[in-house]
Amino acid sequence: MAYSFKGSLNFGFVYIPITLYSSIKDNDIGFNMIDKKTMSRVKYKKTCVDCGEREVSKDDIVKGFEYEEGKYVIFDDDDFEKIKSKKDKNITIEQFVNLDEVDPLYFDRPYYVVPTGAEKAFSVLLSAMESGNKAGIAKTVLGTKESLVLIRAKDGELLLNTLFFDEEVTKNPMKTNLAKANEKEVAIALQIIDSMTGKFEPEKYHDEYREKIQKAIEDKIAGKEIASPKEKPEKNIVNLMEALQKSLESVKKKKKAKS
């Protein structure tokens, strides 16, 4: 498995060499862009604007910041590395927080934290954090971007999530002056929620639409036409109370059928 980061995880005067591995894999089905007239692949070329649209090779492309119109300062990988301090290259926990205080809205990419030494210190930190349900907050530079990160312990594993900075999170555009909820309607909604409540089992869920696309690809290869699924028309229930009651009846029927 390819790693995403090598450095150390530090808290106080304890230093633990670690490697981060992404816990997410890309499961998308890849499609190419095709010219429908010739059935030929469509390519995107990188061209030089002031060079008669001459194509530029990957090796000749560098990063430049435009400080005045048409004037750039160039940065290469070495420049970005020189800027990093020792702290930037490692993950130093600045604070511990209660895990349930962190809104999942801030969560970005998840990683596994794997020790490459100081296993005893790693085990102590892991056990202490898990027993106290605490999470560590730190900052580090991943690639060329500083990231706010959260380190948490779960089921004997140490996990790291990059977090969005507060200024990156937009405000909810929903109006605050919502219609007041009716007590009877809320009571029925609670019954529906209670009837539908169970243990979260992620293995129960899978990408059904991806499976449909895969099946459609196989059908196309076999020369078959793609047929839309036959579905019953949905009943448009205007009255909220009626919709809630019918929902509760439906949930109870499904629960009874399962049992």
Phi and psi angles of residue 62, each rounded to the nearest 5 degrees, phi first? -125, 170
Distance CA 205, CA 191 (A): 24
**Which pLDDT tens digit goes with each residue over 47-78?**
888 888 888 988 888 899 998 998 999 988 88
What pLDDT sits at residue 213?
86
pLDDT tens sequence across 98-157 = 999 999 999 999 999 999 999 999 999 999 999 999 999 999 888 778 899 999 999 999
Distance CA 69, CA 123 (A): 54
pLDDT value for 200: 85
As a whole number of angstroms, the distance between CA 238 and CA 189 comes to: 16
Per-residue three-class SS string for 76-118: CHHHHHHHCCCCCCCEEEEEEEEHHHCCHHHEEEEEEEEECCC
Q: How far, in Å, CA of 54 to CA of 48, rounded?
A: 5
Note the pLDDT of residue 130. Answer: 92
pLDDT digits (tens, 9 = 90+) for 19-40: 999 998 888 888 899 999 999 9
* 3-state helix vs strand vs coil in the chain, percent to 5: 30, 30, 35
**What is the structure's pLDDT at 108?**
93
Averaged pLDDT score across all residues of the chain: 87
Q: How confident is the model at residue 237 (pLDDT cuts 50, 70, 90)?
A: low
**What residues are paired with 34 via a beta bridge?**
41
73: tokens are 């300062």
Half-sphere exposure of 102 (CA within 13 A, CB side): 24
Q: Give the pLDDT of residue 27.
A: 85
pLDDT above 80: residue 15: yes
pLDDT tens digits for 159-177? 999 999 999 999 888 877 7
> How far is it, in rounded angstroms, from Cα 32 to Cα 100?
43
Judged by DSSP in three states, 48 sits in strand
Radius of gyration, alpha carbons of the chain: 27
| 8/4 Cα distance (integer angstroms) | 13
CA atoms of 58 and 124, how far apart (whole Å): 46
pLDDT given for residue 170 in this prediction? 92
pLDDT higher than 80, residue 2: no
Which H/E stretch holds residue 139? strand 134-142
Q: What domains can you pick out in the chain, each with its CATH number? A: 3-24+82-168 (2.40.290.10), 180-198+239-259 (no CATH)
What is d(CA 147, CA 256) in angstroms, rounded to the nearest whole number?
48
Q: Position of tokens 């010739």? A: 38
